[in-house]
């Protein structure tokens, strides 16, 4: 390690919109590094001989190479290095849980703050976009092999990108009218602007990926029919049916699944209503049930739609909160209330069927359960009432069932996830691979991309051997 | 993009839309629906298949002009293009041989019941088709339906043609003719479906209705289409949209259907189904 150099343990902060302004608009919260910021932050990197950071990245970006280029002010080289391994750098730089991935392994993290790898990645991607011209990577000789990718979320997009670079002819089928999966319909504008996602998808299209929207594989055509037309198929269909709590009153008006709430606002641009047609009700008092990124997104969206009071109701304590630290802090700064160790048990409505109050019970933490987290236990006679006119349920989804239901030989687990070979991501159906949330259950963008990379490698091996 | 081949008024407030969607009609079955999205800024709305031509690759839909998205659709014309026609979605209606089947269509349901009538007839059922409307000038497609029906009964509330009366009158006529249905299928607004269930319940046979819940994706992702059937939460877009109406929680359905009433520019001039 570079012993002689003075080590700087403090990272360069990234400017953000101030809370009292940003909580009422849908513009991006974090504003990104300037060139000076980026060079300064990049200069902290020790350029380790054995860079542990790389081990933390599921798509194995050459992180020291990227950072070296930024530190030297050669941003073109930086983006080139990045793109060798990541086809969605502007997305990952924004929403990757870096603190648990690459940055958690950075040696600087032992004594101070790790290098802000995600922010640097975002910087490089945004720098390229701001130049207006995006360099198309070079594509290998056409192989004549045809690949279908089902679902245009991060897993599908990665497979499409990787296989196109290797010379295969790729078509993506997407059920919705816009591509991007959760990146488009779920994660809100203020965290990941729609134009960032569409820019990355347009790049793929420029590389030659064909995109067919409004096509539900399993409904429009069965998977078997797709298989007749293509040499190999990747299934990356992500999450499906939202879970509800199975408590009384969940079908009252004013009760939403997180997916409905976010889809109305993001995919259907409800936040621009009435300029757009999909209506969004601007509730005044909103409870959000759950503690993950999805719950934070719903709560912060409700604030931006004008809610006076937004409360996150989570049955465990602050320590178990699964959301990214950064998003939790943002939510607190914006004035979201947190009710920890609280479990909603009944929803009540008025005569017209609209939610007006929620009965909750208090919880305490018991012994750790199978997941290693301490199990919440209900405290008897602790019920209390919250007056709320909306309740958004953000406790997760089961995997998308359409393809398993319509593909007789496709093996699924008892949770409905598609079963695959761990090494190759091959499913039980010949020539069909799968990855992302449909295999793992709800996970992260970068894990879905990592799966896409792994599947693409195995698919390429198969296609080359044919 | 999906090209509109025809968009013409059928009767006041109801329109016929024929659109090119070759992949959608390839495997479409009676009782299935599509989601249409006219373009950026529009809602995604569910509409039932009323007919199709696999050779030409066209899909016919009958829609009622009720709110923002349907009036936008009503302003479009042949040659225009729709952003999205996705499907076929939902589970097809069973059209096996049951014996005598009463098929009831009201407002847009006179159109969407057509493929059901045709398939049931092809399975060898005796079909009694009832058309329900406020007045004679609101009935349509009688000639099309007649081809596959053993009997057509017209019900108008003002008595301008056929029998004077509503759903209940239909059961009285059946009684007079000494006909006992083995199955009842009703298509139309929520009120019509609900009344069909109430009036036909005493026959103790399934009364299959199509639930007009609010929808967004139509693939089981958002949960807005949820309803309670036989005490269980169902998602109309993937578990339905057709259910045995005898087990549907109608009060909840009606309340959920009205969720956005105050948000919508409510341009309705009701065509008389009184409906939600
Ligand atoms: C609100 C929210 C916030 C999140 N925040 C973060 C975050 O900050 N950081 C992070 O790393 N992760 C986050 N995640 C998780 C992350 O978005 C997912 O893990 C990731 O998107 C999964 O990618 P995927 O490609 O497997 O599937 P998805 O992104 O779910 O995409 C699947 C796509 O397939 C399409 N599809 C489904 N069925 C069919 C079919 N039959 N035919 C054709 N198309 C079909 C769907 O319409 C969809 O577009 C968040 C998730 C949500 C919901
Ligand atoms: C599976 C399924 C199949 C359907 N098939 C058809 C079809 O074949 N033809 C068709 O016309 N409609 C059909 N519908 C209903 C159709 O989706 C709605 O009429 C449409 O979404 C209304 O959109 P809008 O934006 O024009 O009205 P909105 O602006 O959303 O609604 C305006 C108001 O009108 C009321 N309204 C909505 N629908 C009706 C109605 N049918 N009658 C009276 N009032 C209503 C609502 O309560 C709403 O508040 C179907 C619905 C489902 C779920
Ligand atoms: S893709 Fe994610 S995990 Fe990999 S280096 Fe970038 S921020 Fe880190
Ligand atoms: S980012 Fe951290 S671990 Fe990686 S090379 Fe730089 S200092 Fe080393
Ligand atoms: S319409 Fe979204 S789940 Fe049914």
Supply the pLDDT for residue B66: 86
Record: contact A257-B85, CB cut-off 8 A: no
Q: How far apart are CA B27 and CA A39, in angstroms?
A: 57
Contact: B252, A276; criterion CB under 8 Å: no
Lookup: tokens for B136: 């004679």
| B235 has pLDDT over 50 | yes
Angle of the B250-257 helix axis to the B190-200 helix axis, nearest 10: 170
Per-residue confidence at A42, pLDDT binned at 50, 70, 90? Answer: very high
Strands B151-156 and B163-164: parallel
Q: In percent, how much of chain B has pLDDT > 90?
A: 79
Burial degree of A381 (CB within 10 A; 0-12, 13-18, 19+): exposed
B132 contacts B187 by C-beta, under 8 angstroms: no
A411 DSSP assignment? -
Residue range B57-75: mean pLDDT, rounded: 91
pLDDT of residue A87: 85
Q: Do domains A19-130 and A146-239+399-465 have the same CATH topology?
A: no
A91 neighbors A201 (Cβ within 8 angstroms): no
Q: How far is residue A10's CA from residue B170's CA, in Å, rounded to a whole number?
A: 80
DSSP state of A323: S
- Characterize A399-408 residue by residue with b for buried, 16 or more Cβ atoms within 10 angstroms of its Cβ, and e for exposed: bbbbbbebbe
Mutate to test the interface with A, among B1, B81, B223, B254 (most CBs of A within 10 A): B223
Cβ-Cβ pairs closer than 8 A, A with B, add up to: 122
**pLDDT band of A7, cuts 50, 70, 90:** confident
Mutate to test the interface with A, among B221, B234, B236, B264 (most CBs of A within 10 A): B221
Q: C-alpha angle with apex A189: A184 to A194, nearest 5 degrees?
A: 45
CATH number assigned to the domain with residue range A244-395, chosen from the 4 options 3.50.50.60, 3.90.79.10, 3.40.50.300, 1.10.10.10? 3.50.50.60
Ligand 5 near B216 CB (within 6 A): yes
A271 to chain B: closest CA residue? B41
**Mean pLDDT lowest among A195-204, B47-56, B266-275:** B266-275
User: pLDDT tens across A410-422, in order?
Assistant: 999 999 999 999 9
| CATH fit for domain B100-257, picks 3.40.640.10, 3.90.1210.10, 3.60.15.10, 3.40.50.80 | 3.40.50.80
Neighbours of B167 (CB within 10 A): 23
- Residue A405: closest C-alpha in chain B: B238
Mean pLDDT of chain B: 90
Distance CA B274, CA B210 (A): 17
Mean pLDDT estimate for chain A: 92
Instruction: Name the class of domain B2-89.
Output: mainly beta
Q: How confident is the model at residue A274 (pLDDT cuts 50, 70, 90)?
A: low
Please state whether B139 falls in left (phi above 0), alpha (psi between -120 and 50) or beta.
beta
Residue appearing with tokens 């879905």: A448
To the nearest 10°, the Cα dihedral for A424, A429, A435, A437?
-150
Residues of chain B with CATH 3.40.50.80: 100-257
**Closest-CA distance of chain A to residue B198, Å:** 22
CA dist A395 and A447 (Å) reads: 20
Locate A438 and state its tokens. Answer: 């449909």
Beta sheet of B84-89, edge-to-edge order:
B44-48, B33-37, B84-89
Cβ-count burial of B230 within 10 angstroms (0-12 exposed, 13-18 middle, 19+ buried)?
exposed
CA dist B205 and B183 (Å) reads 6
Inter-chain residue contact B263 with A279, CB threshold 8 Å: yes
Q: What pLDDT is recorded for position A9?
A: 82
- Residue A5 confidence (pLDDT): 64
- In three-state secondary structure terms, A140 is coil
CATH architecture of A146-239+399-465: 3-Layer(bba) Sandwich (3.50)
| Interchain CB contact of B29 with A (< 8 Å) | no
C-alpha R_g of chain A: 23
Does residue A278 register a pLDDT over 90?
no
A257 and B224 within 8 Å at the Cβ level: the answer is: yes
Determine whether the interchain pair B219/A175 forms a contact, defined as Cβ–Cβ distance below 8 Å.
yes
- Do the strands A355-368 and A342-349 form a parallel or antiparallel pair, or are they unpaired? antiparallel
Residue-wise pLDDT for B83-124, tens only, equals: 999 999 999 999 999 999 999 999 999 999 999 999 999 999
In angstroms, the CA B62 to CA B48 distance is 8
* Minimal Cβ distance to B224: which of A215, A241, A260: A260
Chain-chain contact of B84 with A279 (C-beta, under 8 angstroms): no
Query: Are the beta carbons of B203 and B240 closer than 8 angstroms?
Result: no
Of A13-22, A271-280, A290-299, the least confident: A271-280
CA distance A238 to chain B (A): 10
Contacts of B224 in chain A (CB under 8 A): 256-257, 260
Strands A232-235 and A146-150: parallel
Does residue B43 have its Cβ closer than 6 Å to ligand 2? yes
Q: Which residue of A has its CA nearest to B71?
A: A277
Whole-prediction pTM: 0.91
Of A221, A264, A273, the CB nearest to B23: A221
The helix (H) or strand (E) run that includes residue A420 is none
Helix (H, G, I), strand (E, B) or coil at B20: strand
pLDDT tens, residue by residue, A297-355: 999 999 999 999 999 999 999 999 999 888 999 999 999 999 999 999 999 999 888 99
Report B:142-161 residues touching A (Cβ under 8 A): none
- Shortest alpha-carbon distance between residue A116 and chain B (Å): 35
Between these two residues, A139 and A338, which has the higher pLDDT value? A338
| Other Cβ atoms within 10 Å of A360 Cβ, number | 22
For residue B58, give the 3-state DSSP assignment. strand
Evaluate: CB of B237 within 6 angstroms of ligand 5: yes
Q: Per the CB < 8 Å rule, is A400 touching B219?
A: yes
Give the closest residue (by CA) to ligand 3 atom 2: A96
CA–CA gap between residue B14 and residue A403 (Å, rounded): 35
State residue A139's pLDDT score: 80
**What pLDDT, on a 0 to 100 scale, did the predictor assign at position B274?**
43
Report angle CA A443, A236, A396 to the nearest 5 degrees.
35
Q: What is the ipTM of this complex?
A: 0.89
List the one residue out of A30, A26, A37 whose CA is nearest residue A15. A30
B238 lines ligand 2 (CB under 6 A): no
The pLDDT of residue B276 is above 60: no
Residue B267 confidence (pLDDT) above 60: no
Summarised one tens digit per residue, pLDDT across range B165-193 is: 899 999 999 999 999 999 999 999 888 99
| pLDDT tens-place string over residues A57-91 | 998 899 999 999 999 999 999 999 998 888 889 99
Q: Chain A residue closest to B91 (CA)?
A: A219
**Any idea where the domains of chain A sit in the sequence?**
19-130, 146-239+399-465, 244-395
Per the CB < 8 A criterion, the answer to whether A177 and B84 are in contact is yes
Q: What is the pLDDT of residues B4-42, one digit of tens each?
A: 999 999 999 999 999 999 999 999 999 999 999 987 767
Q: Where in chain B is the domain with CATH 2.40.30.10?
A: 2-89
Binary contact (A177, B256; C-beta < 8 A): no
What would the CATH number be for the domain defined by A19-130? 1.10.1060.10
Contacts of A387 (CB under 8 A, 6+ apart): A285, A356, A357
The share of chain A scoring above pLDDT 70, in percent, equals: 97
Of the ranges A153-157, A368-372, B43-47, B145-149, which one carries the lowest mean pLDDT score? A368-372
């Amino acid at each position: 390690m570079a012993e002689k150099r003075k080590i700087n343990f403090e990272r360069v902060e990234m400017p953000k919109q101030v809370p009292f302004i940003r909580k009422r608009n849908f513009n991006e919260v974090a504003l990104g590094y300037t060139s000076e910021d980026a060079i300064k932050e990049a200069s902290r990197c020790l350029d380790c001989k054995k860079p542990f950071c790389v081990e933390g990245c599921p798509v194995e970006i050459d992180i020291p190479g990227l950072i070296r280029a930024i530190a030297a002010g050669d941003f073109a080289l930086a983006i080139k290095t990045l793109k060798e391994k990541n086809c969605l750098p502007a997305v990952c730089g924004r929403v990757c849980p870096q603190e648990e991935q690459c940055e958690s392994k950075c040696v600087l993290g032992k004594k101070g703050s790790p290098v802000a790898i995600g922010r640097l990645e975002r910087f490089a991607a945004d720098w390229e976009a701001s130049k207006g011209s995006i360099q198309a990577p070079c594509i290998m000789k056409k192989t004549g092999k045809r690949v279908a990718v089902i679902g245009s979320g991060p897993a599908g997009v990665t497979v499409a990108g990787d296989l196109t670079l290797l010379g295969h002819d790729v078509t993506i089928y997407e059920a919705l009218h816009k591509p991007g999966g959760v990146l488009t319909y779920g994660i809100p504008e203020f965290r990941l602007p729609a134009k960032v996602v569409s820019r990355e998808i347009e790049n793929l299209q420029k590389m030659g990926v064909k995109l067919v929207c409004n096509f539900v594989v399993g409904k429009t055509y069965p998977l078997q029919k797709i298989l007749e037309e293509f040499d190999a198929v990747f299934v990356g269909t992500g999450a499906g049916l939202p879970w509800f709590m199975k408590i009384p009153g969940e079908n009252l008006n004013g009760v939403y699944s997180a997916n409905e709430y976010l889809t109305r606002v993001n995919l259907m641009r409800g936040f621009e209503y009435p300029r757009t047609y999909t209506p969004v009700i601007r509730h005044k008092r909103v409870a959000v049930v759950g503690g993950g990124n999805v719950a934070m997104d719903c709560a912060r969206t409700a604030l931006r739609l004008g809610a006076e009071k937004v409360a996150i109701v989570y049955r465990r304590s602050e320590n178990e909160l699964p959301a990214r630290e950064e998003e939790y802090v943002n939510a607190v700064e914006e004035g979201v209330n947190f009710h920890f160790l609280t479990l909603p048990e009944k929803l009540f409505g008025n005569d017209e069927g609209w939610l007006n109050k929620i009965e909750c019970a208090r919880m305490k933490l018991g012994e750790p359960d199978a997941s290693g987290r301490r199990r919440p236990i209900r405290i008897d006679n602790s019920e209390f009432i919250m007056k709320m006119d909306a309740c958004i349920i953000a406790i997760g989804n089961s995997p998308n069932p359409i393809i398993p239901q319509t593909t007789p030989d496709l093996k699924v687990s008892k949770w409905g996830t598609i079963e695959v070979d761990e090494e190759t991501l091959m499913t039980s159906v010949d020539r069909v691979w799968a990855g992302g949330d449909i295999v793992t259950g709800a996970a992260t963008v970068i894990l879905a991309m990592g799966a896409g990379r792994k599947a693409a490698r195995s698919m390429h091996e198969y296609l080359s051997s044919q | 993009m999906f090209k509109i081949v025809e968009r013409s008024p059928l009767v006041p407030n109801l329109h016929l839309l024929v659109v090119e969607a070759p992949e959608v009609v390839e495997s479409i079955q009676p009782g299935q629906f599509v989601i249409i999205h006219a373009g950026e800024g529009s809602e995604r709305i569910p509409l039932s298949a009323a007919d199709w031509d696999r050779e030409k690759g066209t899909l016919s839909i009958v829609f009622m002009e009720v709110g923002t998205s349907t009036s936008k659709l009503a302003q479009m014309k042949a040659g225009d293009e729709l952003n999205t026609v996705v499907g076929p979605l939902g589970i097809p209606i069973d059209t096996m041989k049951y014996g005598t089947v009463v098929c009831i269509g009201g407002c847009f349901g006179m159109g969407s019941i057509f493929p059901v009538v045709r398939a049931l007839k092809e399975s060898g059922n005796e079909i009694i088709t009832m058309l329900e409307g406020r007045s004679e000038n609101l009935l349509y497609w009688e000639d099309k339906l007649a081809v596959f029906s053993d009997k057509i009964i017209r019900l108008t509330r003002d008595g301008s043609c056929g029998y004077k009366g509503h759903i209940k009158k239909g059961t009285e006529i059946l009684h007079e003719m000494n006909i006992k249905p083995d199955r009842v299928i009703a298509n139309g607004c929520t009120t019509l479906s609900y009344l069909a269930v109430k009036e036909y319940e005493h026959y103790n046979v399934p009364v299959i209705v199509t639930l007009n819940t609010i929808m967004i994706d139509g693939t089981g992702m958002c949960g807005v289409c949820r309803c309670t059937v036989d005490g269980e939460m169902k998602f109309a877009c993937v578990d339905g949209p057709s259910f045995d109406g005898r087990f549907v929680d109608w009060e909840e359905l009606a309340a959920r259907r009205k969720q956005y009433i105050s948000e919508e520019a409510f341009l309705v001039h009701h065509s008389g189904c009184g409906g939600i």
